[in-house]
Amino acid sequence: MRLVSLIILLAVVAGVGLLVAGCDSSEDTPSTPVPLDTSPDLIGDIVEVHPGYGVVRGTLLIEANEVINSSDKYVVTVKNETQLFKQDGKETSPISWNDLQVGREARVWFGGPVKESYPAQVDAKQIVITLHSGSEVGLGQEFVLAIGQKAKIREENLEITFKEVVGDSRCPRNVTCIWQGEVRLEIQIVQGSASQSIVLTQPGLSDEYARENYDEYEIFFKVSPYPEAGKQIHQDEYRLLMIVAKLDASHVGILKGRVKIGPIRPVEHPGDDPYDIPPEVYDARKVMLYDSSGKNLIKKFDIGHDGYYSVELPPGIYMVDINHLGIDSSSDVPKQIEVRAGDTIELKINIDTGIR
């Protein structure tokens, strides 16, 4: 990594020195965009971003999808005249240097010869970033959904579907409003056999990501396009940009405890071990976690064959219950709990199977 960073720094300095010697930045003129139907010289993910100065905006370390010219990594120099675009489906729009972020896929058209080194070095004539649309994505990776599309988080048993825009009252740009407004949208999250619909809200007059916690995840999101005065946005035009990340351990609390189940036989005899419970008895029971109202299921989780359970949760107020298999009952649940970051809550649950 030190070698890569040194090469990147040398590339920036060398590029700046050559360009400053040849011309002044005020004389730069944008080059003609390369037709997007032509094949790029390089396709890969941006793994490092290093800002530059003067006529060099910066450099990108790109990990290529395949080995090109004997190299699978490229230090790409981005100059003031480099054309930068974003492609969302069939729509293409200009972007700024700040939109070149780690994790995004980039298509690069070279603006000069490749300098032999490792990583290889090259100047960019044009860069087009593409947003991962639906299918599978990774934690921390930005992706985009149209209404009806779904994405599966590769490392997690998690699937997210963009259901609909519930309401959009955002104040249009260049219009004076007494309220900034907001856009509200519904997504469906499926995790294992549990499914929940939640409404996300992003305030108006902001291009920043809004944030919502779900279970052990942080969801960063923003909605495009932004309203313009006199123009109506149709449902099929909306795009939801999202990043899903795991909550930092210091920002979560722990709910844990032991579940006792019994009786498991119609008649208990002297010498019977009340803790000798077959694994299938535990497998059939689940601890259920609801929101504070007790109506919306957030997650259900298994009980270990030793009777213990444990789960990390974002701070919040929850209702804990069991799945009430058959005539199961418990005087310990439902119970409302408040989870605080860094705290551990212990909740013992005794389940009466009703067997007599």
Could you say which residues of the chain have pLDDT below 50?
A: 1-3, 6-7, 9-10, 12-30
Q: Kindly state whether residues 137 and 222 are assigned to the same domain.
A: yes
Residues 121, 137 within the same domain: no
Q: Which residues contact 312 (CB under 8 A, 6 or more apart)?
A: 216, 247, 249, 252, 253, 254
> Residue 110: beta bridge partners?
124
Nearest-angstrom CA–CA distance, 269 and 41 = 78
Phi, psi of 10 (to 5 degrees): -65, -35
Q: Which domain range does residue 332 map to?
A: 251-352
Query: What is the domain-level CATH number for residue 239?
Result: 2.60.98
Q: The domain spanning residue 51 has which CATH number?
A: 2.40.50.140
User: 290-317 pLDDT, tens per residue?
Assistant: 888 887 777 788 898 889 998 888 888 8
Residues 289 and 241 in one domain: no
- Number of structural domains in the chain: 3
* Under 8 Å between Cβ of 354 and 325: no
- pLDDT tens across 252-278, in order? 888 999 999 988 877 665 555 556 788
Given 200, 225, 246, which residue is the final one in a domain? 246
Domain end (from 222, 246, 270) = 246
Shared domain for 206 and 272, answered yes or no, is no
Q: List the one residue out of 259, 292, 296 whose CA is nearest residue 275.
A: 259
Q: Indicate whether 72 and 152 sit together in one domain.
A: no
